[in-house]
A and B are shown apart, each in its own frame.
Chain A
């Protein structure tokens, strides 16, 4: 039986402060899954989201709604017309684990919706976010960044899931 859940690519940050790009993503899958083990590229006491853009789109075409529990307590947040979406979390000093589902990423008829779950401690905490990219274009690249980039050793793996 053909593989249903396949690794597409892995990117490991070699130098602290770097960013990550997955390019030439094949359109042959149904969903994508991005798994991150990410640490922010500074030795401080804060953290940031893993901020993402797709297809090089840096316009105000993203939005999200999330819930979280972190050092600041429990809460919900949303943002409209943003230039990035939330693909994970990264703290200072520790590697946080996140998973981001890109649902029906290759269809060319609907907007794109992504579901993110983050597991971290400190400023980012535990949470989940739904993200929207207002474009019907198939996703073929993913750019990942954070304030001060990522720490060396941060790893991002992209998987493809293919429905029958």
Chain B
């Protein structure tokens, strides 16, 4: 079967407004490991946020996420996951953070762990805040894939986000994007 070459788009897709999805900030972890990263002073001018995580680490624990410095037991999360050939589910109520990534094995300094986290309607002061999370890691055995949701039981607009674990290492990158409605 003959290959079909991709062609460079001759015009911007009508479905993509190039100013609707904007990069807000990026945190890159260097040679000194960090136990957390924080996006602060998040502008309120967007409708939704997206965090794209590329994580290297040397811990067996997952990472979690908090908003506006709230360290109280005000978070809930649920996940369905696959670990090798086993499928399952898990949840946490009255938690001090929302599960972010590194579900089963934690993190590796060789194999990346990645996540795409959506925070919808983050400035709405009439709603508690909900997150949607696709995350996974594959180490050529083992591996894990997870779809997760999170709830912050607070109607405040989100102005800061902290993602934490015991150790994020070199080449980890967390990129925050804003989406305009």
Measured CB to CB, the residues of A under 8 A from B are 1, 3-11, 13-15, 17-23, 30-31, 63-67, 74-78, 80-81, 101, 103-104, 107, 109-113, 115, 117, 128-132, 134, 143, 149, 156-159, 161-164
Contact = CB atoms under 8 A, between A and B. Distances in A.
B157 interface: no
Given A30-B175, A104-B54, A163-B52, A8 B85 contact: no
Interface stretch (B4-12, B40-48, B120-128): B4-12
Contact of B7 (A10, A13, A74, A101): A10
Contacts of A149: 1
B5 A5 contact: no
A140 to B, nearest CB: 12
A102 to B, nearest CB: 10
Contacts of B175: 30, 163-164
B97 interface: no
B54 to A, nearest CB: 4
7 tightest Cβ-Cβ pairs between the two chains A and B? A130-B136, A76-B82, A65-B143, A3-B18, A67-B82, A132-B138, A163-B175
Given A113-B137, A115-B134, 18 more contacts: A5-B18, A7-B12, A10-B9, A14-B4, A18-B2, A20-B3, A21-B6, A22-B6, A66-B145, A67-B147, A75-B87, A76-B85, A78-B141, A103-B54, A110-B54, A111-B111, A130-B145, A134-B140
B4 A65 contact: no
Interface in B19-36: 19-26
A104 B175 CA distance: 11
Given A30-B175, A75-B87, A78-B143, A113 B1 contact: no
B19 A1 contact: yes
A8 B10 CA distance: 9
Given A64-B143, A81-B140, A111-B111, A4 B22 contact: yes
B5 A163 contact: no
Contacts of A110: 54, 56, 112, 171
B110 A20 contact: no
Given A18-B2, A103-B54, A63 B23 contact: no
B134 A104 contact: no
Nearest to A81: B140
B177 A103 contact: no
B16 A5 contact: yes
B1 A18 contact: yes
A108 to B, nearest CB: 11
